[in-house]
Structure 1
Amino acid sequence: MDTNATKPWLFFDLVLVLSCRLACFSMAGDTLSAGQSLSASTRETIASQGGHFELGFFKRGIPSRIYLGIWYKKFEGEDIVWVANRENHLSDPSSSRLEFSDDGNLVLLESWPNSPFWSTDLTYRLPNSTEAVLRDDGNFVLREKSNPSSILWESFDHPTDTWLPGAKLGIDKITGKPKQLISWKNLEDPAPGMFSLSLDPKGRKQFVLQWNRSHVYWSSGLWNGKYFSSILENRSTYALNFSFVSNKNEYYFTYSLYNKYFSSKYVIEFSGQIQQQAWEDSGWVWKLSWSEPKLADVYSFCGAFGVYNEDLSNACGCLEGFKPFSIEYTNLNDSSGGCVRKSPLQCENRTYANGKNDWFLKMPNMRLPVNAEAHSAASARACEMACMDNCPCTAYAYNSNGCMIWEGALLNLQQLSDRGGAGQDIYIRLAFNELQSRKGYKWKVWVIAAVLTPALGLIVCLCICFSSRGNLNRKGEEASSNDLLLFDFNIELHAISDGINTGDTSRQRGKKEFDLPLFSYESVSAATNNFSAANKLGEGGFGPVYKGELLRGQEIAVKMLSRRSGQGSEEFKNEILLIAKLQHRNLVRLLGCCIEGDEKLLIYEYMPNKSLDYYLFDPIKAKMLDWETRKRIIEGIAQGLLYLHQYSRLRIIHRDLKPSNILLDSEMNPKISDFGMARIVGDTETQANTNRVVGTYGYMSPEYAMEGLYSIKSDVFSFGVLLLEIASGKRNTGFYNSESLNLLRYAWELWMDDRIVELIDQTIGYSSTASILLRFINIGLLCVQESPTERPTMSEAVSMIMNEHARLTTPKQPAFVRGRNMLAANPATNSAGDGSVYGLTVSIMEPR
């Protein structure tokens, strides 16, 4: 009796609890109106009319970060499909709320600071009757209450990582802005990650997956009206109805469902894989219907220096000598951060000068990393030395395709199973410390020493004998020179470069001050058709430049020192001594020289696409420099300067960086040239002084032009000018009939007026990548700030260029914005008849 008597009271208590939960955690219906708000502290939500979706606050991470989002209501847990403030999380639940602002926009606020963390950000004032509604398709919309079909703003226009039925993925034709999916950073962080799914930016009817939103590593194949050519699984699907729409405002793909009891979504995982997930009412569990690409094919899936091995439970590991960049991210199954070295390389650690060299670890049966660079080395040993003598080189491989080297981070390295047999050997550069830590190191050293000691004694004896014999013939040999026409640089030069890169200065104290091929004047003349006018490429401050061709068909460029040049002899010698020691893919390669009597010539690799200024300032040719090409040129110049300032054996300041000194190879990759003005500074030196200022007007920093002080920050200033010129297509000194005086002042005025987009070269147009271009302009303005201490180093500049998520500071006023003649106040100004000012060379050369 007692049990039966309590049943009505238990039922009443249950109803009371449920009512309290509804009152505490849910607003009435699916609508948020003016005067209402959603609070994070009470976990208030609104739900779509059919109960499919819910909108409210959720937490992720440790410590907890608060986000406003939409999730499926019917599933256990929060299956998030949209996040409002993914780039700017909240942290205080007691004061976090969503409400309408005075202008009618929805805003997400915390009590302090009382500024919007997120907003619908409509620029016009909305009517007082505006309301926010969560619809049953998962779309959160702003609309006029009196006219529900009038949509003012919708979440479907701002997708995060999930594509729901009815939503659009495409490109706005008016703004160029894409509607794309961007992955979460990891399982606990909805911030934008490294991967995106979007329509092909080249205008083709296909989807592409991109790493860092720029590198395409997978495509769906073209749409033929029924299916995508590379997605065979979707040909026979019965549930999805895809369609492509193009009108005057936009073009996009959308899809709908045939079966009302079936639901589907596409999600781009933080791993970089796109997945189609589906469920039916009978299951209430998401099932994976399709995914692409395979994890092994996801670009940089294991990050820098990470190795993918599908035979292991944890597919990503680190190379020997490396450790995970972040244990926290690794525990979240996020390996995109990659691995870092346990010990710094010898060439990177200037304080570790104990003569213990880096070494190479053999990794067999590997799928080689991406972005290999071919090298002319003709043997495995020469290939190894080419990598060892180049500090940025991190690995090499030598196989039937020849020598390949890798600079910087290794990406997409995969350990293949023994069953495949398609792998190759790669040699990873490691620090000497890692060799010591290997098992059995000590006994191996003793064995090697026991074997090599007698051999070394024999070698020393032989060297003495041959040295004595060689001295008898050396006098006659020094007078001979190589025949340029017969020389094969691809085979022979690596042997010479072995001597150049050893750093043995004793080899430079003899009669020959450099180890480069020395060619006869007669053979150089024959290669250039007797320096004919038809072979002339251009003329600079030092003299003319000619194109030459060897008997094997290899093309070269020959720079001849003008006999009339009073300043050239020192610069000629300087260029030989400097460039012979430099090895980087973004520096022009010096192949040899010729010195006979008064004739002094330098032989370079031939650059078929001439120089950057040949295209940049020509309204017709500039169209060949699309934004991707300009971006690659900027990145290459930055990497080349970083090598000169930080990674080369000698710290070098170029002092004459300008468009005519940026040469372009057959693929429009940039190479810095013309080192006649360059200077070496010590590892600990920050600046130097000179009484003879040389360089080109418009590219020199103020402290150098006015006081003769130069440093690595002088090159940073020149790089900033160059970056602004590439972005705008305008010369820095091309504003003589304008009140802006120069490009720096013009850019600064636009920046201060919030009109910097007007600086973008019209031949590029305002494309979907315009935000990156505006970021580069910001970096350029940081580099041309008046004070050298305010400018970034090239290491910092490269970091800002390569990491588009890094925050940028606001630039300060650039130099040379106050007056037209920056040298007018300097009493040392000297006008010369050859177009030079105060030692400044004005080059009109069209380089090789």
Structure 2
Amino acid sequence: MALASKIISVLVLSLFCCLDMLCVNATSYREMLVMGQSVGNSDTLVSKGGNYELGFFTRNRENSIKYYYVGIWFKKVANDKIVWVANRDYEPQTSSAFLTIHDDGNIVIIDGGMIRYVTGAPSNNNRISTYATLLDTGNLVLVNKSNQVILWQSFDNPTDTLLPGMTLGHDTYTGRTWSLRSWKRTDDPSTGPFTLRYDSGFGYLSDSNGSNVVWINDDSDVPIQEIFNQVDFKLKPSYGLNYATLTINSNSRFILEASGDLKYQAWSEEYRQWIFLQFYQCVTNNSCGHFSVCTPKAVDACQCLYGFEKYDSDSWSKGDRSAGCVRINKLSCNTNNNKDEFHPLNISVKSLPHHVHRQVDKLSQCNDICFTNCSCVLYAYDISNGNCMLWNDQVPTLKNTSTEYAYNNINNYNLKFFLRVAGPDRPSTNSNAIGRQGNGKRNLLIIVILISFLLFLLLLCLFVYRTRKQSGEGMSMKVNKDSDIADNKSIKVRRKEVKLPLFSFASVSAATNNFSDANKLGEGGFGPVYKASSKGILLNGDEVAVKRLSRRSGQGWEELRNEALLIAKLQHNNLVRLLGCCIERDEKMLIYEFMPNKSLDCFLFDAIKRRMLDWGTRVRIIEGIAQGLLYLHQYSRFRIIHRDLKASNILLDTNMNPKISDFGMARIFGENELQANTNRIVGTYGYMSPEYAMEGLFSVKSDVFSFGVLLLEIISGKKNTGFYQTSSFNLLGYAWDLWNNDSGMELIDSELDDISNKHLVPRYVNIGLLCVQQSPEDRPTMSDVVSMIGNDTASLPIPKPPAFQNVRGIEYSRLSKSIEGNISLNGITDSLIEAR
């Protein structure tokens, strides 16, 4: 019935969500508490913007006694997490208790004749006039009425939740410490066993009032460094301050669970719910109790080992798993009918709990040792060194570092685990069950009924929500050829939603050190590009590139929308990843993965740096670009024409692998659409196909032409435009002349000394010339190109003369004056990101 209980809980939560959407609350709330006023059991304070609410809440604990607490919670969700508790260790048991401001100016809770101070000890010598107010950040502040100085704030006294603007750390000058302290249980907000603190550059999680440090953030077995990469570290040793302040996003929060696990959540205005960005589970020793396995990446991290069940299901659901799991059936060891067996556990464990060591020669010996010892309940055999590890009587939580927990196949790691199970609990050949399965058909019928009701309820909520939804935060985009239609709700492509993370301007500004010149990577027609510092607060602290639209840019919302829509749906190793965007105030920004080696042109056309591009690297770059284009043309959800492929739009990662970038000029083609026409010519001369530059016609063959130009540039290390030889006006003509004279090898970059597979150089020149032929019909497709590159023994067609072979660079410039559009003549497109 545990599963049925969970489903009932989901139903109740869904019902609250529906009621929240259906009801419009027009009540007027107060945000301030002044002397002479009080907040009783049925009263609340609400922040000015309606984000947070303060009031009494109740919890039933031992003997069903109801306890009353004063807390702060996020108001936009019914029954949301309590983010701060005023009286977690002294709780009234009567509904007559109330919160007020005492004569001495402090906030107190009065329960009959008992006065409990919230803001500090009483002071007979400091009778000042004060008032309390709840801010939209969730911070309760006590203010001196005469001079408006903040005397106390809840942010200085956190409980188990870290909100934006709150602090973790220590002030050695005043002795003040800011730390998180878990609840005792999910239904008991009193002080729990786990403390999260930050000191001297490290994050610590400790239990038992700090006597046992569970981990610190340089422990390789714990991903806590990711958490502290989310915050903005501020170190002020001269003032004795050493602290970290959470500034990532105005609607994010960290929660230290009663189990010691950590949650990182962000509020989605679109879905009206908290979304898990990260959930750090299994971070404590014996996280799930004895005879359990904890899988950090699983939705339900804690599971009992096979043949075991939860000792107390109710406690587990409330976050207290210390009692662990117990056997369903007793072992039959030392009996005449011993049917105990050992079954493999397919888990990967990084750190092992305490065990007994034995040195053996083979797995069977380890099995025999454990089988003949009735107290031995689990053994592991290390194939690499013949080490036999035995666990007697109890097995603490095994932390499974793989992505799932299976039961019947021996894992592929060096360490093989075998669990002793009782005869009645032996798993079947195809069993993946965990513990006892329930009461069969009766439970199944209940579950089916509950699921049916849940689906009906959710459909009803969806219907009401969609009919009532008028506006929302975020951004909405629809792509329909060259359509300029856009709204402000969500990103959509052909009515399919694109989930793209939105970042606040404050978080992006902090990550780029307020867009400082030191973080600036370059600037193109779109605007400047910045690198987020290594201590930035975006996306787990990974370095990112922020592309910021300049107010002077010739581009704008259309190009940004187009790029966001297209690249957000594309997944390929040779395409740059879009990680999010910022649409706030007048700011429009895109956030990309950071490419440490910048763009290909930085190496290819630099007299010194191009020596770093050896022949093998150049071939790998050519192959990667070809694979990326093939994906765009043939294997992505939509057929996409890039329209601005060139060296400066090829980014290079740490290993010099290419990634195609800058999709601001890209276009989506229909399934049966082969060619399109436009009056708005965009791109870069030298890479444009003749039919596009002259007539505005573009197709997949336009990208093939650009690829051919790029291939010849990579081989030669020379730009196509501004190329002058005695008899050739550009690189295409020069390559054609060499090809006709059987001198294709002479096109190779002079900086390349040692070239393996020299016979392939003319082949690559041949492929390049096939791609830049005058007529689109004569050019190969990218599928053909990839096949030519991959099969170096197949014969190649003879190319026809390339386009523009007799066009000199200055004539190119004159040609441009007769065509309007976003065109770059010097190799820098309007949509260029110089580096990331």
Normalization by structure 2: what TM-score? 0.43
Provide the TM-score with structure 1 as the length reference. Answer: 0.43
